[in-house]
Amino acid sequence: MSKEISAAVLLLLVALPLNIGVAIAAGVPAENGIISGFIGAVITGMVSRCPMLVSGPDAGIGALVLEMLQKHGPAVLGPLVLIAGVLQLLIGLSRQSRWFRAVSPAVVNGMLVGMGLLIVVTQFHIMLDDSPKETGLANLLLIPEAISKGIFAEGLTPHRSAALLGMFSIFIAYAWSRLQFKWSKMLPPALVAIVLASLVAELAGLSVQKVALPETVKIAFMPYQMDGLLKALVDPNIWLSAVTLTFVISVQTTITINALENSGKNERFNYDRELVAQGTGNLIGGLVGALPVAGVLLRSSANMQSGARTKIPNIGHGIMMILAVFIIPRTLEYIPTGALAAILVYIGCRMILGIRQNLKNFPREEWIILALTVGAILCTNLFTGVLFGLGAAVAKELYRLLYLDIKLKPIANRQASALMLSGAATFVHVPRMMQILADLDPEQELHVHLEKVTYIDHAMLQLLMEWELEHRNKLVIDWDNLGASISPQKKLPGVNLQDKIPPISV
């Protein structure tokens, strides 16, 4: 039991500052992130059957929510999360979670890289006490201007103070994560960086923006007007955003569960049940106007590496989180928002670098799809970017299905020819094949090579058989070598939490 309680305390230290940071990154009050963290830990945790899975608001989802609120206004947060929760419940109850695992790995990793880049380029501006722009591309292009205004400004301006404090926070978080002492593993780098940044800001009297909490944190049931909810429910644009949100949080949760399954403990979990748990949390979160929650890989890895084996750490840290807000609310107001943003920049960079491990065995065409997905996300938004990536993946598969290279080569010193096929031999290529066969010398043998054929359909087989009937003993096909030279797709390495993620890294 003592190990479970210590794991709960550790989770609290990891999650509390990040929940506040995600809320600020999403453009909502800081207490919203704490309420969302409580719902993800306690409500979702009680329904879940995966004791290692820790749910809550995530930095990538915060960037997505910010984008949606800039488009629709802050009043739609509750309806968006409510619709997403209902959709997740329906998906889980109808046992359709498998479809979220059928997405192209290039698109999934492209989505994660895009989310990481959105975190970095958006939070970079907040780190300098500046306002983020509407699109990821605008945030990226204006980074040089932000650096000039923040870092190279004359005098200790508020922007420069925030920039220096942000760089200090990133340095401390990185340096602390590299320490190999046992005592250094007791405190998460993010917590150490934020505490030290808060002390520096207070002792130096820096004029930087800080976390603002209300006098009392209230959880209001349906904090939006009923007519506003009804308008949102009949607005197709709101539904489009809600479907986007459902897709992103569901994919992220399934990725996290899959990583937990591949952690070396040979445990298997019910993905449908976990989507029901996530849907329950988001349904309740939508009713109180909270941020959406999803299974978070970094928190789940911290939970597992701290030795937790039951739900106690997950549920316990959520209860302690809400108690901390009521007991020490004013202490949290010493935290500079720029320091929280800096930690999210650090997490975004680690997220991108961590995904690099999954890309080692990617073929060239998968890299192209990933790059197209990331570029589309930065230039438009997450949903459009993912749709663009899915379209590129479908186009690639259609190309593979339709492409066939046909080469006819004479065989030296023999009255024979070799027909070299590479690709998918389908009915689409029957006319071209008929012309090639018609131009052959009737007395020649035809040796058909199928080593590089990925698929051959009935129409192509029938054409070859008909040619054989017309040219007795002239057709030679080595069926045993069908597709022999096509290398099997290398299995992408699973995410081993013990090896791939440094212990308690945020």
**DSSP-assigned letters across all residues of 329-356:** HHHHTTSBHHHHHHHHHHHHHHHHHHHG
CB neighbour list of residue 385: distance below 8 Å, 6 or more residues apart: 110, 111, 114, 373, 374, 375, 376, 377, 378, 379
Q: What gap in Å lies between CA 337 and CA 290, rounded to an integer?
A: 20
Angle between helical axes of 226-233 and 77-93 (0-180°, round to 10): 60
Asked whether 299 and 15 are in contact (CB, 8 A), the reply is yes
Q: What gap in Å lies between CA 296 and CA 249, rounded to an integer?
A: 10
Cα atoms in the Cβ-side hemisphere of radius 13 Å centred on 505:
21
End-to-end Cα spacing for the chain: 24
CB neighbour list of residue 176: distance below 8 Å, 6 or more residues apart: 184, 187, 189, 192, 193
| CATH numbers and ranges of domains, the chain | 2-395 (no CATH), 403-481 (3.30.750.24)
**Where are the alpha helices (H) located in 179-261, listed in sequence order?**
189-204, 226-233, 236-261
Q: What gap in Å lies between CA 255 and CA 108, rounded to an integer?
A: 9
- Tokens 């960086």 belong to residue: 193
Please provide residue 210's backbone torsions phi and psi, each rounded to the nearest 5 degrees: -130, 165
Q: Dihedral (C-alpha) 452, 455, 459, 460: value to the nearest 10 degrees?
A: 0
State how far the alpha carbon of 442 is from the alpha carbons of 272, 339, 417, 470, 477, in Å: 61, 80, 11, 9, 17
Ordered per-residue pLDDT tens for the chain, 506 residues? 566 777 788 788 778 888 888 888 888 888 888 899 999 999 999 999 888 889 999 877 888 898 889 888 888 898 999 999 999 999 999 998 888 777 788 888 888 888 788 888 888 998 998 888 777 888 899 999 888 888 777 778 888 899 999 999 999 999 998 998 888 877 888 888 999 999 999 999 888 988 877 666 666 555 666 666 778 888 899 999 999 899 889 988 888 888 777 665 667 888 899 999 999 999 999 988 899 999 987 788 777 766 667 888 889 989 988 888 777 777 888 889 999 889 889 988 888 888 877 787 788 888 999 999 999 988 887 778 888 998 999 998 888 888 999 999 988 877 888 999 998 988 989 999 999 988 888 888 888 888 888 888 899 989 988 888 888 778 888 777 666 555 444 443 333 433 333 333 44
Cα atoms in the Cβ-side hemisphere of radius 13 Å centred on 192:
19
Angle CA 429–432–436, to nearest 5? 130
State how far the alpha carbon of 248 is from the alpha carbons of 254, 256, 424, 495, in Å: 10, 12, 34, 19
